[in-house]
Amino acid sequence: MRVLVIGGAGYIGSHVVKELMSKGHKVTVFDNLSSGLKQNLFKENGFIKGDILKVKDLEKAFAKGFDAFIHLAAFKAAGESMVAPEKYSVNNINGTINILNAAVKYNCLNMVFSSSAATFGEPQYLPIDENHPKNPENYYGFTKLKIEEFMAWYDRLKGLKFAALRYFNAAGYDPEGVLYGLEKNPANLLPVMMEVACGKREKLCVFGNDYPTRDGTCIRDYIHVTDLASAHVMALEYISSKKESLTLNLGTGNGITVTEMLESTRRITGKEIKADYVERRPGDPAQLTAKSDLAKKVLGWEAKYSDVDTLIGSTWNAYKKYFKM
Q: Band of the pLDDT at 213, cuts 50, 70, 90?
A: very high
Contact 46, 27 (CB under 8 A): yes
The predicted-structure confidence for 113-129, as pLDDT tens digits, reads as follows 999 999 999 899 999 99
Q: Give the burial class of 11: count Cβ atoms within 10 A of its Cβ; 0-12 exposed, 13-18 middle, 19 or more buried.
A: buried
Is residue 324 pLDDT above 90, yes or no?
Answer: no
Distance between first and last Cα of the chain:
39
Residue in 11, 88, 140, 180 annotated catalytic:
140
Average pLDDT of span 71-82 = 91
Q: Give the burial class of 300: count Cβ atoms within 10 A of its Cβ; 0-12 exposed, 13-18 middle, 19 or more buried.
A: exposed
From 184, 235, 224, 290, select the one nearest 70 (Cα to Cα). 235
Cα gap 202→138, rounded to integer Å? 27
- Taking the model in full, what pTM does it have? 0.95
Would residue 182 count as lying in a domain? Answer: no
Which residues sit opposite 111 in a β-bridge? 69, 162
Would residue 151 count as lying in a domain? Answer: yes
- One domain for residues 22 and 153: yes
Known active-site residue 140: yes
- One domain for residues 234 and 149: yes
- One domain for residues 103 and 204: no
- One domain for residues 270 and 195: yes
Would residue 108 count as lying in a domain? Answer: yes
Taken in order 142, 49, 110, 14, the sign of the CA dihedral is: negative
The predicted-structure confidence for 296-308, as pLDDT tens digits, reads as follows 999 999 999 999 9
Q: Is 192 helix (H, G, I), strand (E, B) or coil?
A: helix
Task: Report how many domains make up the chain.
Answer: 2
- One domain for residues 139 and 196: no
- One domain for residues 147 and 202: no
Q: Band of the pLDDT at 78, cuts 50, 70, 90?
A: confident
Phi-psi region at 183: left, alpha or beta (left = phi > 0; alpha = psi -120 to 50): beta
The predicted-structure confidence for 167-212, as pLDDT tens digits, reads as follows 999 999 999 989 988 887 888 899 999 999 999 999 999 999 999 9
- One domain for residues 201 and 263: yes
Is residue 289 pLDDT above 90, yes or no?
Answer: yes
Cis upstream peptide for 127 (omega within 30°): yes
Phi-psi region at 322: left, alpha or beta (left = phi > 0; alpha = psi -120 to 50): alpha
What pLDDT is recorded for position 184? 79
Cα gap 311→304, rounded to integer Å? 11
Q: Is 70 helix (H, G, I), strand (E, B) or coil?
A: strand
Would residue 181 count as lying in a domain? Answer: no
* Domain with 309 in it: 189-220+253-322
With pLDDT > 70 as the criterion, what percentage of the chain qualifies?
100
Is residue 283 pLDDT above 80, yes or no?
Answer: no
The set of residues, in sequence order, having a beta carbon less than 8 Å from that of 299 and lying 6+ positions away, is 231, 234, 235, 238, 248
The set of residues, in sequence order, having a beta carbon less than 8 Å from that of 83 and lying 6+ positions away, is none
Average pLDDT of span 68-81 = 92
Is residue 31 pLDDT above 90, yes or no?
Answer: yes
Is residue 256 pLDDT above 80, yes or no?
Answer: yes
Would residue 184 count as lying in a domain? Answer: no
- One domain for residues 146 and 281: no
Distance set, CA 264 to CA 25, 175, 256, 313 (Å): 37, 18, 10, 10
